[in-house]
Structures are given as structure tokens and as C-alpha cells.
Structure 1
Amino acid sequence: MDEKLSPKARGELTEAIVLAKLIELGYGVSMPFGDNRRYDMIVDDGHRLHRVQVKTARDGRNPGTIEFSTASHHPLSGKRTKYHGQIEAFVAFHPGTGDFYWVPVEDTSGNYLILRTAPTKNNQVNGVRQAGPYRLRPAEVPEPRA
């Protein structure tokens, strides 16, 4: 993804990429009118609707990790606002790897989330959030009734 893009343009491009991937995987997707909701899309997995915030993931500070913001930043006040109670999940896209992650909002607590994509040097597993379980998978859409 072009580093010269403004944050808004980068976010819009990520939303378009995520939208296409969700449709490819069999999800139904609705987009809210306007830009004033805390969610970017409503995703239908065939069983329920999820308010989703789309994020662009980046390489983490430590090798073998990726991270993305789990709070919005208000430039005038400097205040960060979490999404709990306003969305059900984040869908993060990492442009460098092309990977997509579905992360329930209740699995987040701070202002950003770090997912491990490769083993730690010392093989530590306790307290490490592995990326694998969060990879976006095809929707389990029920078959239509005849």
C-alpha cells in the first residue's frame, strides 16, 4: 500500500479491500450511509449481523508481530476512544502479507492489539496472542430453503 496516501485515503482503500474479501468469502455486507458511525460495515455471516470497524494492520515493533489500533484518536482533544459496546469486531488487513484478521472487540483492551505471526525467539506462548486463530475464514452461510 502506498505510504504517500493520506490516513483517510489509506483507510478507504483498506475498506474496499476488506469489502471485496468478505464478499469473496460468502459474507453479506452493508455499508452505513455517511461517515458518522463508529462502525464501517455491517457484516452478515448467515446467522447474525456484526458491526465491524476496519483497520489497516502494520508490522509490529517486534519481529514476527503485526499490530493495529483498537481506539480512535480525536486530533483536537488528543483523546482516544475505545469501541466496546459500539462494534462487535475488527477486521484488520495487513497490506504487506495480504492477510485478513477477524478480532472480536471483547478480545481487545488497550489502544492497539499485537498479534504474533511467528514464534518468539524463546518459544514463549503464555501471554502471547497468536494471529492464526483470528485469520478471516469463509462464512458459514446456511443453505436457502426450497
Structure 2
Amino acid sequence: MNTKQTGDTSEAAVIAELIGRGYTVSIPFGDNDPYDLVVDSAESLHRVQVKTGWIEDGCLRFKTGSKTTEDGSTRVTDYSPEDVDAFAIRCRDTETLYWVPIAIAGKKNTYLRIDPAQIEHPNITRAEGFLFDAALPDV
């Protein structure tokens, strides 16, 4: 599967789950917006960027930048709160879905701890708090 197909698979999984939970989901026309979806939670609209994550060293990892190629050069731009409100992540290894507010996301990549850490540290961000069941805005 190429990266476009992987991204489409993640978007389809996220959209199906959100609609199944009673959210209204809109898809912007074209590919020029920094977000993939607009999710209506009845209280507000959320601009959502869908990403595919994977398990790496006991963590869920996903990229938090947008890669563009122009005139043969590639540029990665981090998303900001002006661009998106949250990331919806499909872990390709477990098919688990996560909702991560932009304020939690790091630069370039975000790591959410799934397995217990060898040394617990207050700066470790645990993945379970961002599972769809725990983190989605109320409908």
C-alpha cells in the first residue's frame, strides 16, 4: 500500500467511527486546507488532521507536519493551532483510534507512551488518555 492509500484508509476509519458515534463529519473540497475533516460535536466545529501512527519503542508515534514538494525541493511545515484543532490518529499496527488536541502535539513528531516506561517521568504522555472513548468531544 502506498502512502496515499494508507492515508485514505486512516481517513475512512476515522470518518466511519465518528459518524457511527453520532458526529456530523464534513470534508473540505480540494487538497488546499491544512485539515482533512470538520467534525461537528453539536457544541462546536473541530478542524481535524487525520494521521497514521505506528508503534515504536513502546509508544504510538505520528508525524505532526505537512510535507510539500515544490520545484523539486521538499519542505515540512508543522501544524499550528491556527491550522487545526486536533489530530485523529489511526494506529496502523493495532487499528486503534486516538484524538489528540493540537496543544498536546509536539513539533515534527508526537510520541504517546503505550507500554510502561522503564522509568516513570512526569513528562511522559500516556496514550490511553487520548483513545477515542476518553478524548472525543461530547456529541
Asked if Structure 1 and Structure 2 have the same fold, meaning a TM-score greater than 0.5 normalized by the shorter chain, the answer is yes
Partner of 1:144: none
Q: In structure 1, what residue type is equivalent to 2:90?
A: F
Q: In structure 2, what residue type is equivalent to 1:65?
A: C
1:45 to 37, 41, 45: 41
Query: 2:38 & 2:132 partners in 1: Cα distance?
Result: 15
Superposition RMSD on alpha carbons, in Å?
1.4
Q: 1:109 to 1:65 in 2, by over 3 A?
A: closer
Q: In structure 1, what residue type is equivalent to 2:66?
A: S
Query: 1:139 & 1:27 partners in 2: Cα distance?
Result: 10
Unaligned runs of 5+ in 2: none
Partner of 1:104: 101
Partner of 1:67: 61
Query: 1:14 & 1:119 partners in 2: Cα distance?
Result: 26
Q: 1:110 to 1:139 in 2, by over 3 A?
A: closer
- Paired-residue identity, %: 36
TM-fit CA distance, 1:139: 5.3
Q: In structure 1, what residue type is equivalent to 2:96?
A: D
For this pair of structures, how many residues does the alignment match?
134
8 Å Cα contact 1:46/1:139 also seen in 2: no
TM-fit CA distance, 1:140: 2.4
Query: 1:25 & 1:17 partners in 2: Cα distance?
Result: 12
Q: Deviations over 1:24-75 (max 9, x none)?
A: 1221100111122111000011210001000001112x1x211000001224
Query: 1:50 & 1:132 partners in 2: Cα distance?
Result: 21
**Greater fraction strand:** 2
Find the structure with the greater CA-based Rg.
1
Partner of 2:138: 140
Which stretch shifts more, 24-33 or 71-80? 71-80
Q: Report 1:49-128 matches (<5 A).
A: 49-60=45-56, 62=57, 64-75=58-69, 76-84=72-80, 85-122=82-119, 124-128=120-124
Q: In structure 2, what residue type is equivalent to 1:125?
A: H
1:73 aligns to what SS in structure 2? strand
